[in-house]
Amino acid sequence: MSRKYPITKSFLFAISGLKSALIREPNFRIHTIAAILALSAAYFLNFNLLEWLILAITIFLVITFELLNTVLESLVNLISPELSLEAKMAKDVSAAAVLVSAVFSVIVGAILFLPKIIHLL
């Protein structure tokens, strides 16, 4: 199977997807702002390499689930514009995956940030 586009064009499509998600998806913006705040706090709290790695993996996990949720919701809306229990379940379970990853990120954030914040006090 040959490529229709050069690899650089593929990266531009991916960047366009990120821009679309930022513009059209309020939850993606919320997760992005939370990620920026967490990264800024980690910088000021002098995270070590392992802490940075754990934080980065956690952020990318939530962002990835949010992007996949957006894809699934868009596909369901396209394929099944009418209301159906199956479409609702697909969208709800996809949103639940984002929720689980977000709750996980809060737990990881508490483990990473609270000891450093308490040490400052």
| 4-55 confidence digits (pLDDT tens) | 778 889 899 999 999 999 999 999 999 999 999 999 999 999 999 999 999 9
Is 66 considered catalytic here? Answer: yes
Residue 5, phi then psi, degrees to nearest 5: -125, 155
Which amino acid is located at 116 in the chain?
A: K
Question: Which domain range does residue 87 map to?
Answer: 7-120
Instruction: Name the active-site residue from 51, 66, 73, 82.
Output: 66
Structural domains in the chain (count): 1
Q: For residue 2, tell me if it sits in a domain.
A: no
Look-up of token digits 């996980």 = 104
Q: For residue 75, tell me if it sits in a domain.
A: yes
Q: Whole-angstrom Cα distance, residue 56 to residue 111?
A: 14
Is 29 strand, coil or helix?
Answer: helix
Q: For residue 98, tell me if it sits in a domain.
A: yes
Q: For residue 1, tell me if it sits in a domain.
A: no
Prediction pTM value: 0.88
